[in-house]
Chain A
Amino acid sequence: EAQVTQNPRYLITVTGKKLTVTCSQNMNHEYMSWYRQDPGLGLRQIYYSMNVEVTDKGDVPEGYKVSRKEKRNFPLILESPSPNQTSLYFCASSLSTGELFFGEGSRLTVL
């Protein structure tokens, strides 16, 4: 089954404790991206990647890092999480000219 898989789906952590949210797709898509969703602010893009070893900033990249060492994986790294990064996170992938497929979301709470 074609899918985008995010882990963990739910996480509660504390300020400053590094964490990684993984994203994996099995559709051989070139493009992958991360979004955060907050009440009243809609979906905002954090980072995107056009292909392996090619990443670029979206609209809200501060406090986040990404890497794209393999085509199927695009982890989101929070080196020192803060409470303002409490949010619902979505990963998505697509062919370079196609529809986006989204994961089910990861709800992160930073205390």
Chain B
Amino acid sequence: DAKTTQPNSMESNEEEPVHLPCNHSTISGTDYIHWYRQLPSQGPEYVIHGLTSNVNNRMASLAIAEDRKSSTLILHRATLRDAAVYYCIRTGPTGTASKLTFGTGTRLQVTL
């Protein structure tokens, strides 16, 4: 089962940090965790991915639990432009894209 579990929605104030959780308790040792987000009226876009270590890029940080059963996407300072649906997915061994399950994601609302 390649499913992940995310809260349906979260709210944040602008310029506050946001922590978006994802549960992937059945993950195998070689599955990567990828995060995508979908802005209104657009296709999904890549945010970040990782395997075991925490990862940072210009958009966000990804914190992966030591047992790899969960991860957290961190937006350090939310802006109104970060309001989107965020998807956490598992990819195949060594990051190979194969059969992917996106689910319904977390809808993030950002308010002034």
A residues bordering B, Cβ < 8 Å?
A: 31, 33, 35, 40-45, 48, 50, 56, 58-59, 90, 92, 94, 96-105
State the interface size on chain B (CB cutoff 8 A). Answer: 21
Q: Is the CB of A40 within 8 A of B97?
A: no
B38 → chain A closest CB, angstroms: 8
Q: Which of B44, B94, B99, B105 contacts A100 (CB 8 A)?
A: B44
Q: What are 21 of the A-B contact pairs (CB < 8 Å)?
A: A35-B102, A41-B104, A42-B103, A42-B104, A42-B105, A43-B44, A43-B87, A43-B105, A44-B102, A48-B100, A50-B97, A56-B98, A58-B99, A59-B99, A90-B43, A90-B44, A94-B97, A96-B96, A100-B36, A100-B46, A105-B42
Q: A31: which B residues are within 8 A, CB to CB? A: 97
B residues bordering A, Cβ < 8 Å?
A: 34, 36, 42-46, 49, 87, 94-105
Q: B102: which A residues are within 8 A, CB to CB? A: 35, 42-45
Closest 5 CB pairs of A and B: A102-B43, A42-B104, A43-B102, A99-B46, A97-B95
Alpha-carbon separation in the docked complex, A62 to B105 (Å): 24
Closest-by-CB residue of A relative to B100 is A45
Q: Is the CB of B97 within 8 A of A48?
A: yes
Q: Which of A33, A41, A103 contacts B100 (CB 8 A)?
A: A33
With A40-B104, A41-B104, A42-B105 already in contact, the answer to whether A48 and B44 are too (CB < 8 A) is: no
Q: Which of A33, A45, A104 contacts B42 (CB 8 A)?
A: A104
B15 → chain A closest CB, angstroms: 27
